[in-house]
Amino acid sequence: MKRPIFPVLVPLCLLLTAGAARADEPAAVHPQQLSARDLLQACASSALTATGRERRRYCDGFVSGVEEGIRLGVQAPGMNICVPPDISSRRLSEAYIRYAADHRNDLGRPAAVVVMDALRETYSCATGS
């Protein structure tokens, strides 16, 4: 017998509305196309404040998402990377931070593109293996 969906939807809706931002709090904005510069600012935020930790988690998730997309085959031709299976999302973000710091001219480009470049440079697959 199928369970009615209504008893599940009501608590779910209440949960979602309970987490909505209050009128006096600014809403979190996650742009559809983040620049590499904005991502670098999030990645390099201080871990000493709650806002900084939130920005770093956003960065870690963004970079990990790009890595997973590449790994699962949603990639441009020739975009192969070999990331060790035990690598943390923070280590991936640190690779992006190093790359972005060395490629300041790329900071106006879309973040996902620059993250892909950083991952390709940092975790290139050895040829001939």
Average model confidence (pLDDT) across the chain: 77
Q: Is 107 helix (H, G, I), strand (E, B) or coil?
A: coil
Domain assignment of residue 15, yes or no: no
Asked if residue 127 is part of any domain, the answer here is no
Question: Residue 9: inside a domain, yes or no?
Answer: no
Single pTM value for the model: 0.68
Q: What is the pLDDT of residue 10?
A: 35
Residue 64: give its domain's CATH number. Answer: 1.10.890
Q: Is residue 8 part of a domain?
A: no
pLDDT of residue 77: 62
Neighbour count for residue 54 (Cβ, 10 Å):
13
Would you call 110 helix, strand, or coil by DSSP?
Answer: strand
In a domain, 5, yes or no: no
Q: Is residue 23 part of a domain?
A: no
Residue 72's pLDDT band, with cuts at 50, 70 and 90, is: confident
Q: Is 35 helix (H, G, I), strand (E, B) or coil?
A: strand
Domain ranges, residue 101? 33-122
Q: Is 124 helix (H, G, I), strand (E, B) or coil?
A: strand
Q: How far apart are CA 116 and CA 114, in angstroms?
A: 5
Is 115 part of a structural domain of the chain? Answer: yes
Average pLDDT over residues 76-91: 83
Q: Answer whether residue 40 is part of any domain.
A: yes
Token reading at 66: 């790009």
* Per-residue model confidence (pLDDT) at position 44: 93
Look at residue 101 in the predicted model and tell me its pLDDT.
95
The pLDDT confidence band at residue 31, using thresholds 50, 70 and 90, is low
- Give residue 60's pLDDT: 95
Q: At 98, list the tokens.
A: 């190093």
Burial 13-52 (b: 16+ CB within 10 A, else e): eeeeeeeeeeeeeeeeeeeeebbbeebbebbbbeeeeeee
Count structural domains, the chain.
1
Tell me what the mean pLDDT of segment 19-36 comes to.
Answer: 55
